[in-house]
Amino acid sequence: MTDDFKLPRNVEAEAALIGAMMIDNRVIDGVADRVSADEFYEPLHGRIFETITTLAAQGKVANPVTVKPFFEADEAMKEVGGVGYLAQLTGSGAGVIGARDFAAQIRDLAKLRGVITIAEELAARARDTAAGIDPEALISDAEENLASVAGDNSDAITFHLADCMGQVEEEWDKPPTGVLSGSILSLDKTMGRSRPDDLIILAGRPSMGKTAAAISYAVGVARQAISPVEDERADGGGVAFISLEMSALQIGQRALADIAAYSHPIAFASITNGWMGHDQKARARAIREEARKIPLTVVDTASLTIARLDGIVRRLARSFAAKGTPLRLVVVDYLQLMNAGRATSNRTEEVTHISRGLKQIAKRHKVAVMALSQLSRQVENREDKRPQLSDLRESGSIEQDADKIVFVYRESYYHERARPLESDKMYETRILEWEADREALKDKIEFIVAKRRDGPEGTAVGQFVRENQAVRGAA
């Protein structure tokens, strides 16, 4: 047995657990997925645990007699008196009653030891200035390691098929889960609710309006959380907007223009260039005061890993809950600016790690995650510029991981670049046709729902309010 008294542990709980497992093999099924052999402080206990679970998996009885042959030559076993120690472990049946609690405590203590180890290693590396350590890399490593300590297999829950169907029946009388924008009604209808656990990819080429759509969607969700109408409040919730591309100032400018568009519009260009008059500035200040009530937090960061995002979401979820509004939507702008936080062989593998991590965050924190994504340039080489699933840039497993994939498309962007040349013999006719089409397309934005796990695909048509850099859409 080790003489290390510095790390948290409960060797007695370990002994009681493996003793209970040998007294009553039915205990094994209840604890085998709650703790693992490497989480035992005493290595001998971990090996006994692993042997017991292996025998049970083979359909064999696990008791002191059947376990004994595996430890007759074990040096650690000899130190505690030989294989007779196995019989001693079964001397009291009290552990059978508290077996699950013992397993939970063993796991929790293992996490604490992991945190201590990481902290000590981090401190040692931070003190070693001669090694030329990059602080950001050090922090990223720490976050990745802490995330691995936090992760465990205790969330693996088994259900009988009939119980799964029972959950469906229970949902019938409950309010619908998930959020709606309340502002882009056509998208709400076609895409459906952004539900807890959902990973939603909002993708498009540059200048299609992805960020404008994401901000309008996020602001709409957050505004509904403070609606005086109970039904609308159920559609909203707290929102975290994680921006890697735009600064907090730029997000603030866009959000101000977006909210102003609901009642007294203020041109986006006036806001960004300081062209506002006295009355417009007064309205902007009033909107700012209104915004204090809106549960939307912006995180302005230049670097983001999955581990760091997981920590941000965990912290914000607690903060929102403390204020009485649950965090329900996390927007990441945008996916390709994230990094894996670990070595990968190529960019596709890195994007795969990121997309899977985003999905895990959605499931772990019971939030919808909307990640903006770029599309590959191959779109520009086609006559039909409407995006397809194959256009997802460096897609990795994005298509597999996402619950919903929505492409943002504005035909007017390409129409502007197809203006007839004055040298064209049919110029006068064609310019009239071009101008008529231009007028019809100028405010049109399409949301192509190319994948939807909870319903049919389809296309929603919205309005891109260019002057306000806002997106709206009638049902």
Q: What is the pLDDT of residues 28-70, one digit of tens each?
A: 888 887 888 989 999 999 999 999 998 887 889 999 999 999 9
At how many degrees (to 10) do helices 11-23 and 99-127 cross? 140
Q: State pTM to two decimals.
A: 0.72
d(CA 188, CA 391): 24
List the CATH number of the domain containing 101.
1.10.860.10
Both 97 and 35 in one domain: the answer is yes
- Per-residue pLDDT tens for 336-355? 888 876 667 777 788 888 88
The answer to the question of residue 130 being in a domain is yes
pLDDT score, position 189: 94
- The least confident of 7-16, 81-90, 119-128, 132-141 is 132-141
The answer to the question of residue 425 being in a domain is no
Both 134 and 268 in one domain: the answer is no
The answer to the question of residue 194 being in a domain is yes
Contacts of 16 (CB under 8 A, 6+ apart): 92, 94, 95, 98, 99, 102
pLDDT score, position 3: 46
Both 63 and 185 in one domain: the answer is no
Both 370 and 245 in one domain: the answer is yes
- Where would I find the beta strands (DSSP E) of 158-250? 199-204, 238-243
* CA–CA distances in Å: residue 81 to residues 23, 75, 86, 326: 20, 10, 10, 55
Both 58 and 142 in one domain: the answer is yes
Mean pLDDT within 445-462: 93
Both 249 and 378 in one domain: the answer is yes
Q: Are strands 327-333 and 368-374 parallel, antiparallel or unpaired?
A: parallel
**221 near 328, Cβ under 8 Å?**
yes
Point out the domain boundary residue: 132, 150, 168.
150
Mean pLDDT within 357-361: 91
**How many C-beta neighbours within 10 Å does residue 358 have?**
26
The answer to the question of residue 203 being in a domain is yes
User: What's the whole-number average pLDDT of the chain?
Assistant: 87
Q: Is residue 137 predicted with pLDDT exceeding 80?
A: no
Identify which of 448, 439, 447, 443 has the alpha carbon closest to the alpha carbon of residue 470: 443
- Structurally, how many domains does the chain consist of? 2
Confidence of residue 334 (pLDDT cuts 50, 70, 90): confident
Confidence of residue 139 (pLDDT cuts 50, 70, 90): confident
List the CATH number of the domain containing 264.
3.40.50.300
**How many C-beta neighbours within 10 Å does residue 446 have?**
21
Identify which of 258, 254, 89 has the alpha carbon closest to the alpha carbon of residue 183: 258
Confidence of residue 232 (pLDDT cuts 50, 70, 90): low
The answer to the question of residue 415 being in a domain is no
* CA–CA distances in Å: residue 286 to residues 124, 219, 320: 51, 16, 24
- Per-residue pLDDT tens for 262-308? 888 899 999 999 898 899 999 999 999 989 999 999 999 888 888 78
pLDDT score, position 1: 43
Confidence of residue 396 (pLDDT cuts 50, 70, 90): low
286: domain range? 177-409+443-472
**239 near 316, Cβ under 8 Å?**
no
Both 62 and 121 in one domain: the answer is yes
Point out the domain boundary residue: 85, 115, 150.
150
The answer to the question of residue 324 being in a domain is yes
Contacts of 273 (CB under 8 A, 6+ apart): none
**190 near 458, Cβ under 8 Å?**
yes
Q: Given phi > 0 = left and psi -120 to 50 = alpha, else beta, which region is 470? A: beta
- Per-residue pLDDT tens for 84-124? 999 999 987 777 888 989 999 999 999 898 888 888 888 88
The answer to the question of residue 285 being in a domain is yes
pLDDT score, position 21: 92
Both 130 and 244 in one domain: the answer is no
Both 55 and 109 in one domain: the answer is yes
Both 393 and 290 in one domain: the answer is yes
Both 120 and 57 in one domain: the answer is yes
The answer to the question of residue 162 being in a domain is no
Both 207 and 133 in one domain: the answer is no
